[in-house]
Amino acid sequence: MNYLLNSIHNTNSVEWANFYKLERDFYDFLLINGKILICENGFEPEYHLVKLRANKVVSAPPQYVRAIISVAKSAIPTIQQYLLDLRASYKLAMNSIEKTFKNYPSRFPIIEPDLLQINIWRQQAVSSRVLKSGQQAPLCRFFIDADSRDQAELVANTLQTNYEIKATVLKSNLGQRRKTLDYEPAIYVTAPVTDLLSHFGVESIRLRRNSGIQYRAMCQRKTDDESHRINYGLIITTGEPKIYETVPQRERTHKSSKIKTQLTFPGSLYGQFVELYEETNIEKKD
């Protein structure tokens, strides 16, 4: 379910309302007692207002927080208690909707006092999977506007006419779940995996797409010679460590884009948001 819509629905629960209030109080404490050393635009430790179609305005939590905040050492015990209370309140809220607890939200604070240096790096995250015969593979994506349906239909017709691929135009099933928000899902052009295998003349295909950005931080304490890596979320420290933006890591040599044969359509497909590669590492059956 869409994150914002899910959060809004949860406000009907007393347990979730208590958790959200506690988290808002914690953010207020940080803003009053801490100093923001760095914060990613759009990932601030604060709740924001969401307007629904019925002109109702609600307060929604951030999905992610990416910030480094320095506090006085005397504030660390209070923050540690907030963290314990947040964890307990979150578990109660999850139980109230009969959801199995798996892990805490990544926006929960990471307490790292006495840091000397922090290196922040961002890396493109990639999702990759081998397509299975009988499945439909997403190829193109169009975000909803006046022309998106026509564009998707044109691409589907091109695939059917020029390449004998029985493409289908589908609207994301998130539409019904998001209908109360000022947000529209996307339209996708999909194709049968068997048609793609036949068209490219291969036995197996790997689908690869960009799935977001990974955020990491390498932290070095004043008392340690070596650094340790953590998620770059809401990092709470003391003092004013040196903060550096690290150059992104080089592409791994075993990435599909470097060692596999890419499968493309002549002239490319408008709206294509995935890459296709011949998958050669398939097990042979006797």
pLDDT digits (tens, 9 = 90+) for 133-153: 889 999 998 887 667 888 999
Stretch 43-67: mean pLDDT? 85
Counting Cβ atoms within 10 Å, is residue 18 exposed (0-12), middle (13-18) or buried (19+)?
middle
* CB contact at 8 A, 16 and 36: no
> What band does 180 get if pLDDT is binned at 50, 70 and 90?
very low
What are 60's strand-pairing partners?
A: 48
Selection from 2-11, 216-225, 248-257 with the highest mean pLDDT: 216-225
The pTM of the full predicted model, rounded to 2 decimals, is: 0.69
Altogether, the residues listed in the chain come to a count of 286
pLDDT at 185: 66
Counting Cβ atoms within 10 Å, is residue 201 exposed (0-12), middle (13-18) or buried (19+)?
exposed
For the record, the structure tokens of 49 come out as: 């207002």
> What band does 124 get if pLDDT is binned at 50, 70 and 90?
confident
Is the pLDDT at 218 greater than 60, yes or no?
yes
Counting Cβ atoms within 10 Å, is residue 131 exposed (0-12), middle (13-18) or buried (19+)?
buried
Euclidean distance between CA atoms 278 and 201, whole angstroms: 10
> Nearest Cα to 273, choosing from 223, 209, 229?
209
Is the pLDDT at 175 greater than 50, yes or no?
no
pLDDT at 101: 86
